[in-house]
Chain A
């Protein structure tokens, strides 16, 4: 079988060790690095994300596919120069100030990484200032914020205000059980993700990738 297809299958099935050894094998046999990355690792993870969104794959399966993808990526990273970005984009992510619920946020972060994004995870109870500082530091494309408690929702609006006041280029996406599209528009955020799969889809949409 085609080695790229084998890598693709290993990621689809969440086989971490197989993914790593197959990528190494592909590199040894001088396979095209871009093919290993785009057709093998990322190609599989894109499909995993879609299948999860359609209810065909379960969360633990998605996460193990992401791990398999990461294991392959770790072997490829040294081959790319610092100017030659392997990432689809950079996302700063965190749970909004006043809230320590992070399971949904973690899920989005893992799926983003699995799909080839660079993720800076600020954890929980993150102040608006911290989101913006970090985004400047890592030259982020997107700031992604999550909340479960309704009381923490206003701090998301403050992040948008800060970005607008400083005329910064970051896109903002929000998500979490109590939120909806109306709230997203109210605070002037760029997108709302109704769940992890939708969040991933919307971030790709924001960046046109």
Chain B
């Protein structure tokens, strides 16, 4: 027998070497010790101060390295997310990759009219149903920000519509501690109480510190609430190199990593071992247009860099991909989806969000969720690599067929063609005459048709009637309390 062989090859990619990781990490630790972070919630300041941090003037807290190192130690390296039915769905950790949509897009490209209009509550249902049907979308998010729901209530409504229309784990935002509490009440009603919610979490709160180096009252309140309830939170800053952070990529990383780690410290001081997912956005601000790029190559570099750093620290990692700066689903969007999804997969990020985004985080176009699904399938096949063992080296069948024969009718071909070769669901591989005969459909036409078909035919597994009733009651109560 041959020995010492690895029978599978697969693409792998690292941007930083260990010395570079440590240099960025230690710079972030120095920022926390020497510059500090502003924490706009006295409860959080007190927790930090009580554990050895030094409070400077006006809520600015200098955090010693030992607190960061302790938080990295106590934070779980793996967070299991369940689906609505308490079945394990995602193991966030290691280099396992999962994909889902993002939240809060105020505009929507209408599936039928193709006009860009305000997002409505119906769009939340539609994107959830499409995400539920899409095989490579692992978790759902609101995707849109519904303009026909009053502010203060729309996050609650979004969560309710999502949980009613998909069994998949939910990535959700909340405006304040108040609506977060309502959402957690709803989630508890679904699984049967707060204890079960902590045991079988099927949701991840998405909250952000504000660059540079500031924890807003709302953000840190949500952070503490999730820690106390031991429900997962994704606490990740979005920094713009050159405006809310240094213009250089290394500097942007140092600041954003310091922000994320200081959030981790507060979170773990509140409740050691509570589930948290870490990451950053350190992207470019376009200095001509004053817009934020979701797909700049510099963003992809910082994405790979922070992934290497947080892998090194053994923390579950958030990612951003399957999104575009273009205002309409076009060639630019296609290129940006391909580039970012491959990049995020190579980075080994666990919770990759924003699939289906266009318009720099402002525009939804529901069929693009299916486009992301297609690219994810392609990327996953690429990431799987291939086997290099005797069966796959195929010497026997090569000998059998010989020069000039063909492999089409060989058993070896029949045995392997399905697993070895990926087939697209939407991308065209039709020959020219067949493509013309079938109506010259481009991929965007096929995606729109499929999205409309899913909306007509896909019936997500319904919530139990009793649970649905409880959610309706919580909604009615919230409407009374919050609307005023």
Contact = CB atoms under 8 A, between A and B. Distances in A.
Nearest to A179: B433
A51 to B, nearest CB: 16
B394 to A, nearest CB: 14
Interface stretch (A99-107, A130-138, A152-160): A99-107
Interface string B412-424: 0110011000000
How many residues of A sit at the interface, in one of the four size bands?
Answer: 10 to 19
A177 B434 CA distance: 11
Nearest to A103: B406
Contact of A67 (B409, B417, B431, B437): B409
Interface residues of B, number: 11
B73 to A, nearest CB: 52
Contact of B408 (A106, A180, A195): A106
Contact of B417 (A14, A58, A181): A58
Contacts of B414: 14, 60-61, 63-64
B406 A106 contact: yes
B431 A194 contact: yes
A110 interface: yes
Nearest to A67: B409
Contacts of B437: 194
Contact of B409 (A60, A102, A181, A195): A60
A27 interface: no
A14 B415 CA distance: 12
A106 to B, nearest CB: 5
Nearest to A193: B433
B406 A64 contact: no
A66 B414 CA distance: 13
B408 A60 contact: yes
Interface in A51-84: 58-61, 63-64, 66-67
B413 A60 contact: yes
Interface string A166-185: 00000000000100110000
A150 to B, nearest CB: 14
A110 B408 contact: yes
30 contacts: A58-B417, A59-B408, A60-B408, A60-B409, A60-B413, A60-B417, A61-B414, A63-B408, A63-B409, A63-B414, A64-B409, A64-B414, A66-B409, A67-B409, A103-B406, A103-B408, A106-B406, A107-B408, A110-B408, A110-B409, A177-B431, A180-B433, A181-B433, A194-B431, A194-B433, A194-B434, A194-B437, A195-B431, A195-B433, A195-B434
